[in-house]
Amino acid sequence: MAGSFKELDASSDIVSTRTLLHEAIPLTGTIVSGTYNVGTTEHNIKNYSHGMFQSVYDYPYLSSSANHIFDITVGVSPNSSIYSSVSSQQSKKKNIYNQMAQVLMGYDHTGSIQEFDEDGNILAGGTKLRNVFFLNFSRLLCKDEIKKGTFELELGVNKAFNQGGVTFNKRLKITDYSGSNGYFTNSPAGEYGVLYATGSNGDKILELALTNDGVGQPAVGLLFYQAGIAVLSGSVFNDAADGGVLNNTTTAETQQMGSDFGDTGFQHITGSEISASADAIRNRIYNLQFNNTTELNSTIYFCRANHNEFNYSANPTYLSGSKIRVKTNSTDNPVSYITTVGLYNDNNELMAVAKLSEPLKKTPDTEFTLRTRLDY
């Protein structure tokens, strides 16, 4: 057969697949809190005149080589017990909380915005997260989503982040370790899991009597996988006496987050501007890592050349006079060389082209199946 076209059988020649690709994203504290400092100026940190959030870059943000990493902001619910005490940017902090809750948690049956829930179980009620920090990661890092069970954030919980270089002597590790099998799906923004805290350097810095996962790890926030947003409770910077998760049983541990966050993390949320709160939490990031996920959808076309197909070429140079150039003797079998596969639609319009790395010799006694994959 001398035809150049062959119709594909949708049932046997076309297959669709879905592949999840993962990439490790490690961010050390120096990237977000000191690598590009010149004196007191941090050239990879961008603050805005509106004062509603702070952006972190991996390089001085005025450079064309800079990549946006994440944004940091603060939100306070109008239903919070400390809302009336917010003396700095009260309306902005309220608006940020409501906006993020509206997008991530949606509305209840009465039309009211649902607040962030500490254990993630909205229907069961329970304790709400009303004084929170938001880490909004860029799509460049998250891709399609954060891989469940891979998020890990270590925060220094010493008194001040510039106090004699002891910022990270005591650290809090925050993970979504149950995310791979314990996530929730009732968010308009996709799936989310609960963030739990533990001491990362062997110190007992947690108050284990608080709401926890049953093995002594308090719930301190939520992680929205597809949205790429971490919601951290202000309690991560409070001791137990002030409604936080830090242990206050020894003198050394009561000094955590002292002067820089006021007496508690909640006091810093109420009394400082958003940019100052962002500075305080950003400079305490010791390590941040997770795996992202890219969903690769593919359609595979099996282009089959049977023994009696595609043995001739429509190329005008294939013939010289009336003779086939690639035949030595007139009695030899016809020979063609496959170099390209074209995919056409029903209107005979060329939609995609696949090139072989080298010509493939085709004769009446050979058959080939060329596997062509389109990724999107």
> CA 268, 270, 275: angle at the middle one, nearest 5?
65
According to the model, what pLDDT value does residue 255 have? 41
Mean pLDDT by 10 residues, the chain (376 residues): 78 94 88 69 90 93 92 94 89 96 93 90 81 95 95 79 60 82 89 85 45 62 96 80 60 40 61 88 88 95 93 75 69 84 92 94 92 91
> CA 227, 231, 235: angle at the middle one, nearest 5?
175
* pTM score, whole prediction: 0.80
DSSP-based three-state secondary structure for 179: coil
According to the model, what pLDDT value does residue 3 have? 62
Cα–Cα distance, 149 to 192 (Å, whole number): 11
HSE at residue 318, side-chain half, CA atoms within 13 A, is: 12
Domain-wise residue ranges, the chain: 23-293, 306-375
368: which strand partners? Answer: 305
Expressed in angstroms, the distance from the first to the final Cα of the chain is 34
Assess contact for 20 and 294: CB atoms under 8 A.
Answer: yes
Task: Please give the DSSP secondary-structure letter assigned to residue 28.
Answer: E
